[in-house]
Amino acid sequence: MKNRFVFPTHRNGDSEDAAAVVESAAHLLLHKGSELHYWVSGPPSAPLVVLTHGEGANHHSFDAQVQALARTYRVLTWDIRGHGQSKSQQLFTLEQAVDDLRAILAHEGYTNALFVGTSVGSLIAQLFAYLFPDSVYGLALLSSTPLNTISPSWNRFFDQLSTSLLHALPYWFIMAQMPAYLSVRPEVQKYTIEAMKESGREHFLAAWQAGVDITAIPRNRKLPQPLLVAFGAYDRPQWISRATTLWAQSNPGIRIDNVPGAGHSLNQDNPAYTNKMLEDFARQCMRERRQPQESRTVRQ
């Protein structure tokens, strides 16, 4: 099954380039009680970039990034279990998500990649990097908190309180409030409602809870470099300030970027800025790659 992405024509000076066409192949992997759906785009021999969406979303949240990155890189997007098309008998956990992603990469024959994640997707990317650092040649974490730092007790208290409140509220009310909490753009808010309907209450809350219950994550360990962390300029200012401080303390020397005109769903709220940021970061990762050989192994 093939999906075609047609990239819009762009101008280079006074000349106009022809539109580039990239095919995205849809795949299904049955793994530990879940139908894992994923999509692969871009040149087959290029280095791999993996995009992991957040809670209540699906792979379409990265459509704009696929169009930009797949010109140069092999790009893999997927629906985490219980979200999008990845129907699951089990509820979401970070550990299971890492195992799911590792199974997908093994099935496709990849040994390392640049990992990009947003919200809970960034937590999946972090845990993957802690467990398999040699498989990571770069991390871009969007709207994320660090797993290798313990948040202040009052912050953990409010996280647990808000999570308990979500469990007590009807899902229709959560879907009515959450889109404006995550995005500043009406079209992205509309997408969020549809994606949350698709995931359903149990799977959405399980993924949200996973972002709070992170006591089993290794502490005081540095993430692989290069490392990019980005926040939307309109994403809960106090939360951004706390997270930025934690990131700087736990991973000195990282790049921290604020995406203008964007909320929590920053890659959808300001795709042009996010695309350029990720393309620049990917070039940096290619320059600093620890493993010079191709990321893709040959299947026997």
| 72-111 pLDDT tens trace | 999 999 999 999 999 998 899 999 999 999 999 999 999 9
pTM of the model: 0.87
Confidence at 163, pLDDT banded by 50, 70, 90: confident
Residue 294 lies in a domain: no
Residue 256, pLDDT above cutoff 50: yes
Confidence at 148, pLDDT banded by 50, 70, 90: confident
The mean predicted confidence, pLDDT, of the chain is 85
The residue among 198 and 22 whose pLDDT is bigger is 198
Instruction: Give the range of the structural domain holding residue 143, as residue numbers without chain letter.
Output: 2-287
Instruction: Give the three-state DSSP class for 196.
Output: helix
Residue 13, pLDDT above cutoff 50: no
Can you read off the two tokens belonging to residue 230? 């980005």
Q: Provide φ and ψ at 274, rounded to 5°.
A: -65, -40
Can you read off the two tokens belonging to residue 226? 């290069």
Task: Kindly provide the residue ranges of all beta strands, DSSP E only, lying in 248-296, ordered along the sequence.
Answer: 255-259
Residue 300 lies in a domain: no
pLDDT value of position 16: 36
Residue 297, pLDDT above cutoff 50: no
Query: Which of 188-197, 258-267, 276-285, 289-298 has the lowest average pLDDT?
Result: 289-298
Residue 174 lies in a domain: yes
Residue 118 lies in a domain: yes
- What is the distance between the alpha carbons of residues 100 and 285, in angstroms, rounded to a whole number? 24
pLDDT value of position 102: 97
pLDDT value of position 153: 59
Residue 299, pLDDT above cutoff 70: no
Residue 75 lies in a domain: yes
Residue 84 lies in a domain: yes
The b/e string for 235-266 (b: 16+ C-beta within 10 A; e otherwise) is: beeeebeebeebbeebbeebeebebeebbbbb
Q: Provide the CATH number for the domain around residue 186.
A: 3.40.50.1820
| 103-121 pLDDT per residue, tens | 999 999 999 999 999 999 9
pLDDT value of position 69: 97
Range 150-158 average pLDDT? 59
pLDDT value of position 20: 55
Residue 297 lies in a domain: no
Confidence at 14, pLDDT banded by 50, 70, 90: very low
Residue 11, pLDDT above cutoff 90: no
39: nearest Cα among 71, 70, 8 = 70
- What is the distance between the alpha carbons of residues 44 and 273, in angstroms, rounded to a whole number? 26
Residue 268 lies in a domain: yes
- Number of domains into which the chain is organized: 1
Confidence at 239, pLDDT banded by 50, 70, 90: confident
Range 10-36 average pLDDT? 66
Residue 164, pLDDT above cutoff 90: no
